[in-house]
Amino acid sequence: MPTRRFLGRGMMAVAAAEKKRSGKTEIKETLLTPRFYTTDFDEMEQLFNTEINGNPNQAEFKTDYNQTHFVRNPELKEAADRMRGPLRKKTNPVVAEIFFLMSRDEARHAGFLNKGLSDFNLAFDLGLGSLTKARKYTFFKPKFIFYATYLSEKIGYWRYITIYRHLKANPGFEVYPVFKYFENWCQDENRHGGFFSALLKAQSQFLSDWKAKLWSQFFCLSVYVTMYLNDCQRTAFYEGIGLNTKEFDIHVINEINRTTARIFPAVLDVENPEFKRKLDRMVEINQKLIAIGESQDLPLVKNMKRIPLIAALVSELVAAYLMPPVESGSVDFADFEPRLGVLIL
- Using CB under 5 A, list all residues that contact Fe ion: 153, 189, 192
Identity at 230, one-letter amino acid code: N
Query: Cβ 226 to Fe ion, closest distance in Å?
Result: 17
Residue 151 CB, nearest approach to Fe ion (Å): 12
Q: Which is nearer to Fe ion, 179 or 275 (CB)?
A: 179
Considering the complex, what minimum distance in angstroms separates the CB of residue 148 from Fe ion? Answer: 12
Nearer to Fe ion, 192 or 278 (CB): 192
Q: What residues contact residue 201 under an 8 Å CB cut-off, 6+ apart?
A: 207, 263, 331
The nearest distance, CB 106 to Fe ion, in angstroms, is 5
Torsional sign, CA 103, 105, 111, 114: negative
How far apart are CB 255 and Fe ion at their closest, in Å? 17
Of 207, 205, 230, 231, the closest CA to residue 219 belongs to 207
* CB nearer Fe ion, residue 186 or residue 232: 186
Question: In the complex, what is the shortest distance from the CB of residue 92 to Fe ion, in angstroms, rounded to a whole number?
Answer: 21
DSSP 209-258: SHHHHHHHHHHHHHHHHHHHHHHHT-HHHHHHTT--HHHHHHHHHHHHHH
Nearer to Fe ion, 189 or 231 (CB): 189
Q: Which is nearer to Fe ion, 188 or 316 (CB)?
A: 188
Helix axes 93-119, 182-202, angle to 10 degrees: 150
Q: What single-letter amino acid sits at 205?
A: Q
For Fe ion, the closer of residues 37 and 100 by Cβ is 100
Q: Which residue is nearest to Fe ion (CB)?
A: 192
Tell me how far CA of residue 57 lies from CA of 63, 118, 237, 329, in angstroms: 11, 19, 35, 61
Cα dihedral: 192, 194, 199, 203 (round 10) = 150
* Choice between 155 and 285, CB closer to Fe ion: 155
CB of residue 101 vs Fe ion: minimum separation in angstroms?
A: 11
Q: How far is the CB of 189 from Fe ion (least distance, A)?
A: 5
Rounded Cα distance between 275 and 216, Å, is 17
Which stretches within the chain are classed as H helix? 12-21, 41-47, 50-53, 59-63, 74-82, 93-119, 128-134, 142-169, 182-202, 205-208, 210-232, 235-240, 245-260, 273-294, 299-322, 340-344
| Nearer of residues 181 and 321 to Fe ion, judged by Cβ | 181
SS3 267: strand
